[in-house]
Amino acid sequence: MKGALNKERLSWLRLYRSENVGPVTFRRLISKYKTAEKALDILPELGLRGGRKNPIRIYSESEACKEIEAVQKLGGRFCLSCDEDYPSDLSFIDDAPAVLTLLGQGKINQSQPVIGIVGARNASLNGRRFTEKLAKELNAHGIVVASGLARGIDTAAHKGSLNSTIGTWAVVAGGADIVYPQENTQLYESIKEHGLIISENILGTQPKAQHFPRRNRIVSGLSKGIIVVEASIRSGSLITARLAAEQGRDVFAVPGFPEDPRAAGPNKLLKDGAILLETVDDVLNQLISSKIAPSNSQPSSMLFDPMVEQDCFEGCVEEFSELEINSELDPEKVASMLSHLPIAVDEIVRACHVSVSGVQSVLLDLEIAGRLQRLPGNRVGLVNKEL
């Protein structure tokens, strides 16, 4: 899909914005039907096969054109997962967004490593000072600093990396044109001049609770490693650290005074095996020792190749390689195995006694119908809603 034509790029955007098409579903649709245009044509049929009662809402061509015009009016651009300049490290995560909206003067340079910095919103003065200094030093060594534009540590990370040619990337939870929190409006404008504002959502999207974990997985996905400066045990920063570990990234933690609740998160990460960070040298040494290697997982772009079997089912392929593919597997049989508690997909494959591709097709139908949701760890579950 490299260098896709304008028509296909339009279809790419339309498909990703259509109802019930998330990042994993999108990737599987492209893998199966080869082009976004063909996948769009088949969506209604997939919904019916999955038991959908109401028509699927497909993002129209006029809606896509309006979105493109709105982004261009803001001086922004789209970066599709089929583009050459799509962030290479981000492409290695299973649920990499198929469409990114970029605002700002910064550019994606594949040769420049990215380090994410996250932490408490109610950060201490020392924590903010340390973060600003660290971000500035990372920039000085040619490393882009990424964060989430939140109060506290995020803000300090962006501020510390503004006055350099390397710049900073802010991944926002809402639309790329929405500043949250409002107090960071001036910082937002400065980042547009010296870096990038990044979002996977439509312009105008107001950030909601469910958007922040999704934002976090992009911050970690873009990065070679995540630094946690201050964070409570139950915080979004620790979610980001967990996502980073699952994605095969390095996790760094700055130790803190035990009686400070904001030290509980980093200290726990250190107990769990995170890398102790005291100076920028700790990051540089780790990048050198790992040779700035990407994650061991496959880049999502490779999964567009129909000759590549999804590696998450590798353990099942040999077991069922001699079984006949059952293309008539009943979606209701699979649906009956699901509940609102997550279940691993490979368990469904074993229970159905059919090929991986047969189960994959049915799961795709159920997801397009809005009956199934995909969850971390290659698990699925029923959706709590009326169709």
H helix intervals, the chain: 6-17, 23-33, 36-49, 61-73, 125-140, 153-160, 185-194, 211-222, 236-246, 261-271, 280-289, 314-320, 331-337, 345-352, 356-368
**DSSP bridge partners of 170:** 147, 197
Does residue 57 belong to any structural domain of this protein?
A: no
Decide if 11 is inside a domain.
Answer: no
Contact indicator for 321, 290 with CB cutoff of 8 Å: no
Query: For position 327, which CATH number holds?
Result: 1.10.10.10
**SS3 label, residue 384:** coil
Q: Kindly indicate the confidence band of residue 156, based on its pLDDT and cuts at 50, 70 and 90.
A: very high
The verdict on 278 and 349 lying in the same domain is no
Confirm if 167 and 102 have CB atoms less than 8 A apart: no
Which of 260, 289, 318 is the last residue in one of the domains? 289
pLDDT at position 339: 74
Q: Are residues 132 and 262 in the same domain?
A: yes
Cα separation, 370 vs 18, whole angstroms? 12
Helix locations, 180-298, DSSP H = 185-194, 211-222, 236-246, 261-271, 280-289
Q: Does residue 117 have a pLDDT over 70?
A: yes
- Percent of all residues in the chain with a pLDDT value above 70, rounded to a whole number: 87
Confidence band for 385, pLDDT divided at 50, 70 and 90: low
**pLDDT of 354 above 50:** yes
Query: Are 178 and 281 in the same domain?
Result: yes
State mean pLDDT over 180-194: 95
Q: Give pLDDT, residue 306.
A: 28
The answer to whether residue 86 sits within a structural domain is no
- Name the range with the highest mean pLDDT among 29-33, 142-146, 306-310, 317-321: 142-146
DSSP states of 324-383: PP-TT--HHHHHHH--SS-EEHHHHHHHHTS-HHHHHHHHHHHHHTTSEEEETTTEEEE-
Q: Looking at the 3D structure of the chain, how many domains does it have?
A: 2
CB 135 within 8 Å of CB 113: no
Do 162 and 128 belong together in one domain?
yes
pLDDT at 301 over 90: no
User: pLDDT band for position 110 (50/70/90)?
Assistant: confident
> Is the predicted pLDDT of residue 4 greater than 70, yes or no?
no
Average pLDDT over residues 287-299: 57
Which of the listed residues 233, 255, 289 is the one where a domain comes to its end?
289
Between residues 175 and 338, the one the model is more confident about:
175
Which of the pair, 121 or 385, is modelled with greater confidence? Answer: 121
Is 285 in the same domain as 313? no
250 has pLDDT over 70: yes
Same domain, 258 and 119: yes
The reply to whether 178 and 249 lie within a common domain is yes
Q: Is residue 70 part of a domain?
A: no
At 305, the pLDDT band (50, 70, 90 cuts) reads very low
Indicate the range of 75-79, 137-141, 251-255, 367-371 predicted with least confidence. Answer: 367-371
Same domain for 259 and 163, yes or no, is: yes
Give the burial class of 50: count Cβ atoms within 10 A of its Cβ; 0-12 exposed, 13-18 middle, 19 or more buried: buried
Choice among 25-34, 141-150, 270-279 with the minimum mean pLDDT: 25-34
CATH number of the domain residue 224 falls in: 3.40.50.450
Q: Which of 261, 289, 317 is the last residue of a domain?
A: 289
- For residues 341 and 250, membership in a common domain is answered with no
Read off the amino acid at residue 57: R
d(CA 244, CA 76) in angstroms, rounded, equals: 28
Q: What is the pLDDT of residue 380?
A: 79
Q: Is residue 90 part of a domain?
A: no
> What is residue 193's predicted lDDT score, i.e. its pLDDT?
92
Write the CB contacts of 231 (distance below 8 Å, at least 6 apart in sequence). 118, 119, 120, 237, 238, 262, 264, 265, 266
* Average pLDDT of the residues in 248-271: 94
The answer to whether residue 338 is domain-embedded is yes
Question: Quick one: 273 and 189 in the same domain?
Answer: yes
Higher-pLDDT residue of 170 and 375 is 170
**Average pLDDT over the chain, rounded to an integer:** 84
| Residue 352 pLDDT greater than 80, yes or no | no
Residues 188 and 270 in one domain: yes
Residues 201-237 have pLDDT tens digits of: 999 999 998 899 999 999 999 999 999 999 999 889 9
Asked whether residue 31 is domain-assigned, the answer is: no
- Domain hosting 209: range is 109-198+205-289
Residue 10 lies in a domain: no
User: How far apart are the C-alpha atoms of 380 and 319, rounded to whole Å?
Assistant: 21
